């Protein structure tokens, strides 16, 4: 009986060993069949290690049944290595090989590969600029897919990059993008960007085509965008219409006019200053930027008001930049005193507004105003008292501390 029991125990032991061996073997097989595309994708998109990614992706191209992703990533890897790891390529004598591979694969790029590039743009990776350049180098074949997505919105997060691609393609693509201005399915914002791109490239042969398109479209904002493009292309008579657009009842017209106003030679200063009080934030932002070129000291009061009104952060930051520009050029005397009074005697609720005000006060031209102010005003002391007794935001206090250290 004892002998039989030993035999049974031995059988159990052997069974357990076999099961264990099978599990280990299965795990090893599982590890072996992890697709090469996974580490290749991670190294390229996650870490920007293009040269390391290439070997994984080359094997993935062989192994994968659907090769589109591997091929797309390989082209990006070759491009990224050439733009960011050129020293390493030279050390390993890989530069010529990578350049040849990039050229060959770019020529073989299909619509499926282009859409995969769109997806990568949408996801926002460190290879973004390389993908933009790949699609721009592919040229006009990319344009129909871009225009199609302006209506489908599948890659909406990449639309800003799409405009960069269209700019890089330039005049070569105009025959394909001009008809899009009349396409009722494409959003107005995309059409406005397309018109701006056409105007930027300075092809005077397009003047009549734009005039013809303007007659066919109904939206007044787009018509103003075309006026601005035509002005850039040499039709200077449109300057009066652009300037008049600043007070138009149609917000799209005012936005287009404000965006274009900095192109004009000498627009009426009172219209620019008045537009700083426009109800639309986009109009205000573009006028603030334009006032860096069309300098007028009378704009300071309205610019000052924007620092704490309901404008967006982008508009307020542009205002800080413009006010600093004015102070640097001696056109905003007393600005430091006004900013300190605003900060210390008025409740500026939004701490981001207070940060911008203190950052502006810390600029050299404003520090100079504080240092040269009438001692009776005692501006440094007012800053310290505010810092010590009123301000409770650590970020604002950090900016104030920088100012106080400079003034010591």
Whether pLDDT at 213 is above 50: yes
- The per-residue pLDDT for 207 is 94
pLDDT value of position 36: 80
Tens of pLDDT, residues 226-284: 999 999 999 999 999 999 999 999 999 999 999 999 999 999 999 999 999 999 999 99
What local confidence, expressed as pLDDT, does residue 201 receive? Answer: 84
Residue 29 has pLDDT above 50, yes or no: no
**CA-wise closest residue to 260 among 295, 278, 296, 236:** 236
* All residues at 6 or more sequence positions from 107 whose CB lies less than 8 Å from its CB, including other chains: none
Q: How confident is the model at residue 371, as a pLDDT?
A: 94
Arithmetic mean of pLDDT, 6-10: 54
CB under 8 Å to 39, separation ≥6 — which residues?
Answer: 53, 56
The CA-to-CA distance between both ends of the chain, in Å, stands at: 99
DSSP state of 307: T
Q: Mind listing the pLDDT tens digit for each residue in 343-373?
A: 999 999 999 999 999 999 999 999 999 999 9
Percent of the chain with pLDDT over 70: 91
DSSP 1: -
Q: In which band, very low, low, confident or very high, does the pLDDT at 11 lie, cut at 50, 70 and 90? A: low
| Domains in the chain: boundaries | 187-264
d(CA 55, CA 45): 15
Q: Is the pLDDT of residue 19 over 90?
A: no
pLDDT for 28 equals 42
Mark out the alpha helices in 124-250 (DSSP H runs): 128-138, 143-152, 159-169, 174-177, 188-200, 207-216, 220-232, 239-244
Tokens 């293009």: give the residue: 50
**Which pLDDT score is estimated for 16?**
53
Asked if residue 81 has pLDDT above 60, the reply is yes
Q: What is the pLDDT of residue 133?
A: 98
- Closest Cα to residue 76, out of 137, 7, 158? 137
The token pair at 126 is 């460190």
Query: Judging by beta carbons within 10 Å of its beta carbon (0-12, 13-18, 19+), is residue 106 exposed, middle or buried?
Result: middle
Question: Is 20's pLDDT higher than 90?
Answer: no
Q: Residue 115: pLDDT above 70? A: yes
Burial class of 299 by CB neighbour count within 10 A (0 to 12, 13 to 18, 19+): buried
Q: Cα-flanking dihedrals φ and ψ of residue 267, to 5°?
A: -70, 160
Q: What is the largest CA-CA distance in the chain?
A: 114
pLDDT tops 50 at residue 31: no
Mean pLDDT of the chain: 92
Is 223's pLDDT higher than 90? yes
Distance separating alpha carbons of residues 125 and 135, to the nearest angstrom: 15
- Percent of the chain scoring above 90 in pLDDT: 88
Which of the four pLDDT bands, split at 50, 70 and 90, describes residue 10? low
CB-based contacts of 259, cutoff 8 Å, min separation 6: 196, 228, 286
Is the pLDDT reported for residue 5 higher than 70?
no
The CA distance from 191 to 186, in Å, is 7
How many residues does this entry show for the chain?
Answer: 408
- What is the predicted pLDDT for the residue at 203? 84
pLDDT confidence bin for 18, thresholds 50/70/90: very low
Distance CA 180, CA 335 (A): 48
């Amino acid at each position: 009986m004892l002998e039989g029991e030993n035999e049974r125990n031995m059988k159990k032991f052997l069974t357990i060993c076999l099961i264990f061996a099978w599990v280990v073997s299965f795990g090893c097989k599982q590890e072996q069949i992890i697709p090469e595309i996974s580490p290749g994708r991670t190294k390229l998109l996650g870490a920007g290690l293009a040269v390391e990614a290439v070997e994984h992706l080359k094997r993935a191209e062989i192994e994968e049944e659907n090769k589109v992703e591997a091929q797309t990533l390989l082209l990006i890897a070759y491009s990224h290595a050439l733009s960011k790891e050129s020293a390493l390529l030279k050390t390993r004598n890989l530069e010529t090989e990578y350049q040849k591979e990039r050229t060959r694969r770019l020529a073989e790029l299909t619509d499926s590969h282009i859409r995969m590039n769109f997806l990568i743009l949408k996801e926002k990776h460190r290879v973004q600029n390389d993908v933009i350049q790949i699609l721009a180098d592919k040229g006009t074949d990319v344009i129909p897919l871009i225009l199609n997505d302006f209506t489908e919105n599948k890659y909406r997060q990449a639309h800003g990059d799409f405009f960069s691609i269209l700019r890089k393609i330039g005049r070569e693509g105009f025959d394909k993008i001009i008809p899009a201005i009349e396409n009722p399915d494409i959003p107005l914002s995309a059409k406005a960007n397309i018109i701006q791109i056409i105007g930027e490239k300075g092809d005077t042969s397009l003047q009549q085509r734009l005039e013809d398109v303007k007659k066919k479209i109904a939206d007044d904002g787009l018509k103003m965008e075309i006026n601005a493009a035509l002005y850039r292309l040499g039709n200077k008579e449109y300057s009066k219409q652009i300037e008049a657009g600043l007070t138009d009842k149609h917000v799209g017209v005012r936005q287009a006019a404000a965006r274009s106003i900095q192109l004009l030679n000498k627009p009426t200063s009172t219209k620019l200053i008045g537009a700083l009080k426009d109800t639309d934030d986009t109009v205000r932002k573009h006028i603030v930027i334009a006032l860096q070129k069309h300098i007028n000291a009378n704009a300071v009061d309205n610019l000052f008001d924007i620092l704490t009104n309901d404008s967006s952060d982008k508009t307020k930051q542009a205002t800080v930049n413009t006010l600093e520009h004015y102070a640097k050029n001696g056109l905003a005397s007393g600005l430091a005193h006004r900013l300190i009074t605003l900060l210390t005697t008025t409740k500026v609720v939004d701490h981001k507004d207070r940060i911008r005000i203190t950052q502006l006060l810390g600029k050299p031209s404003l520090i100079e105003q504080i240092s040269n102010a009438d001692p009776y005003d005692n501006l440094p002391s007012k800053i310290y008292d505010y810092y010590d007794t009123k301000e409770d935001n650590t970020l604002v206090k950090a900016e104030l501390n920088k100012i106080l250290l400079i003034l010591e």
